Structure 1
Amino acid sequence: MSASFAITAPLPAAASFADWSAAGLHTVERALEAWVPADAPAGLGAAMRYAVLDGGKRLRPLLVLAAAQAVGGAHAAALRAAVAVELIHAYSLVHDDMPCMDNDLLRRGKPTVHVQFGEAQALLAGDAMQALAFEILTPDDEPALPPALQARLVQLLARASGQQGMAGGQAIDLASVGKALDEATLRDMHRRKTGALLQASVLMGAACGATQAGAWDALSEYGAALGLAFQVVDDILDVTQASEVLGKTAGKDQDANKPTYVTMLGLDAARQYANDLHSQALSALTRAGLTAPLLVSLADRLVIRQS
């Protein structure tokens, strides 16, 4: 990783949400630019940077930063956690898009990595980004990340990425094509495939501060509800928006005969479910007495998004 990137002061808490999110996006992008190596051998660096730079909503990094700010967490630790979770997310998209998985040609408004660089290079780019995420979480010279916090962040991210989370959910997804799932199974699939990493983003931010048990439980519930809401909204957008708006192939799940919340509940009921999950997420913060306007704004943005 490049040593030229200096971690700046925390994002301004008093800024408007628009200003705060713009500053957060800029900081995360600069960190990714510095820490994702261009000089990885045989063109691997180019594929990695193509996969993760200059695209995406960066919702997961913003959740890390907002949760950390809500509990007074260390900014340097939170930024590393934010970059790590985005690398895991980007690697998962590279692998999901490959012919052996979802076989997609468009991601973030440009050709997918395997289309641009070939399947072997795409596979390796995903592998390398996954490893880099954990390298970023375990620096030798960062006072804000003592060994105990490094271990906690690695544990949270690994659990959300593996068989208990994202990889397990994708396995269920691939095994469910053309099958009728009940709501509990569909919820479990998406809790793992999409929700686990979003929930982990919130908890990784919380881990960067001195979070009491009640606040931790509330943030965990917030993250779980928000993670499922994200997938419900994704299912809605898949059938209501064009590919040019989404930046990926619209109608892909329907064409592949995959079960979704829209096919199970219908469009109107799916929209209501997303709103109910949004309310559940915010209620968890309120019950715990957490003052977290950035997390509230991120939840609002997630539910009303159009891409």
Structure 2
Amino acid sequence: MKIIQQEDFNLAESLQENKELINTHLKKYLEARYPQVIWDAMGYTTLSDGKRIRPILALESARACGGNIENVIPTACAIEMIHAQSLIHDDLPCMDNDDYRRGKLTNHKVFGEAFAVLAGDALLSYAPQIVIQHTPKEFNRDTLLQILEELAIAAGPLGLVGGQVVDIDSENKEIDIPTFNYIHTHKTGELFKFALRSGALLSEATNTQLETLTEYGRLIGYAFQIADDILDIIGTKETLGKTPGKDNIAKKSTHPSLFGLSQSKEEVRQLCSKAQQILIDNKLDTPLLVGIAGSIALKVMN
């Protein structure tokens, strides 16, 4: 299958519009209060110039299911806070020890390690608070409880944290394919999958719609992580906004190290093509969802 490219759709413009919507609400939720230093540290990474791909997926999932995105914005912002928390902690000296993220100094380089740790902790606990306080009060409480449960699973030891733990524990080791797949599907994939599921759940999607968007999230989440592995090899500090080659320095097992660069690129292409096709087959092929899958593949195909 080929990657679908939509010449009549301006993907960059659509992503920017959605990013601005998310940023508007993130800024409101992260307005500085006492003690100011922690709010500054929380906002420093969360509001930095990232793609906002995860919250955008949540919004577009809702649109695909005919939902009201106002119901989804708090959860979408919570997802970005969880992602920002993971970046802050991932960059710490005890983990990846990186000095740059998104083209500027990492959180601990600006605020110190103690405040960086606390900023990550604060974002992790503040995210569900945002969902509870800002989702419209008339919204179905049972669905909201499901959202909170799935958010906790995606962010915690059964999701992102679990993947990160196995990733760290696998440094300087030869790992088997099931272990490798666990790292990728949990460290990155669970939050992608939750983003798609949250938009569908908050839009009262049908079972078929929910299953389709869940699978789409699984496919592009895995593709996104493989693409990240590839870009760590072929990218530059200027294009990545962070230090390239860190996986090799840490002797981490990545998709290219296990399967080779060429096969890794082909795997990304196949995963993204399959993601596009599953949307088309189930009539959920909004231009933005199709375009996001295509853009992940195109990042590494040149």
Task: Go from structure 1 to structure 2 and tell me whether the alpha carbon gap of 1:42 and 1:54 turns closer, same or farther (over 3 Å shift).
Answer: closer
Task: Go from structure 1 to structure 2 and tell me whether the alpha carbon gap of 1:291 and 1:120 turns closer, same or farther (over 3 Å shift).
Answer: same
C-alpha distance in structure 2 between counterparts of 1:175 and 1:262, whole Å: 19
Would the aligned equivalents of 2:273 and 2:294 in 1 still touch at CA under 8 Å? no
- Tell me the residue number matched to 2:96: 102
How far off its partner does 1:99 sit? 1.2
How far off its partner does 1:163 sit? 1.2
- Tell me the residue number matched to 2:198: 204
- Tell me the residue number matched to 1:264: 258
How far off its partner does 1:305 sit? 2.9
- Tell me the residue number matched to 1:36: 30
- Tell me the residue number matched to 1:10: none
How far off its partner does 1:54 sit? 3.1
Return the TM-score normalized by structure 1.
Answer: 0.91
Please tell me whether residue 66 in structure 1 is matched to residue 60 in structure 2: yes
Would the aligned equivalents of 1:77 and 1:144 in 2 still touch at CA under 8 Å? no
Amino acid at match of 2:112: G
Correspondent of 1:145 among 139, 142, 148: 139
- Tell me the residue number matched to 1:19: 13
C-alpha distance in structure 2 between counterparts of 1:208 and 1:250, whole Å: 38
Amino acid at match of 2:262: D
- Tell me the residue number matched to 1:302: 296
Would the aligned equivalents of 1:225 and 1:278 in 2 still touch at CA under 8 Å? yes
Please tell me whether residue 243 in structure 1 is matched to residue 237 in structure 2: yes
Correspondent of 2:156 among 141, 158, 162: 162
C-alpha distance in structure 2 between counterparts of 1:135 and 1:217, whole Å: 27
- Tell me the residue number matched to 2:218: 224
Q: Over residues 81-112 of structure 1, what are the superposed CA-to-partner deviations in whole Å (9 max), with x where a residue is unaligned?
A: 11010000000100111111111111111111
Return the TM-score normalized by structure 2.
Answer: 0.92
Amino acid at match of 1:130: L
- Tell me the residue number matched to 1:283: 277
How far off its partner does 1:18 sit? 3.7
Q: CA RMSD for the aligned pairs?
A: 1.7
- Tell me the residue number matched to 2:167: 173
More RCO (CA 8 Å, sep 6+): 2
Question: Percent identity over the alignment?
Answer: 38
How far off its partner does 1:144 sit? 5.8
Counterparts of 1:116-135 in structure 2 under 5 Å?
116-135=110-129
Would the aligned equivalents of 1:195 and 1:227 in 2 still touch at CA under 8 Å? yes
Would the aligned equivalents of 2:161 and 2:187 in 1 still touch at CA under 8 Å? yes
How far off its partner does 1:215 sit? 1.5
- Tell me the residue number matched to 2:85: 91
Would the aligned equivalents of 2:72 and 2:198 in 1 still touch at CA under 8 Å? yes
How far off its partner does 1:42 sit? 5.0
Unaligned runs of 5+ in 2: 1-7
Please tell me whether residue 112 in structure 1 is matched to residue 106 in structure 2: yes
Q: Over residues 270-290 of structure 1, what are the superposed CA-to-partner deviations in whole Å (9 max), with x where a residue is unaligned?
A: 000101111221232233232
Amino acid at match of 2:182: D
Misfit runs of 4+, over 3 Å: 14-19, 143-146
Q: Over residues 186-240 of structure 1, what are the superposed CA-to-partner deviations in whole Å (9 max), with x where a residue is unaligned?
A: 1111100001101111111111212111111111111001100000000000000
How far off its partner does 1:182 sit? 2.0
How far off its partner does 1:158 sit? 0.9
How far off its partner does 1:258 sit? 0.5
SS of match in other structure, 1:139 = helix
C-alpha distance in structure 1 between counterparts of 2:213 and 2:181, whole Å: 20
Q: Over residues 136-189 of structure 1, what are the superposed CA-to-partner deviations in whole Å (9 max), with x where a residue is unaligned?
A: 100267246332232122122111111111000000001000111122221111
Unaligned runs of 5+ in 1: 1-13
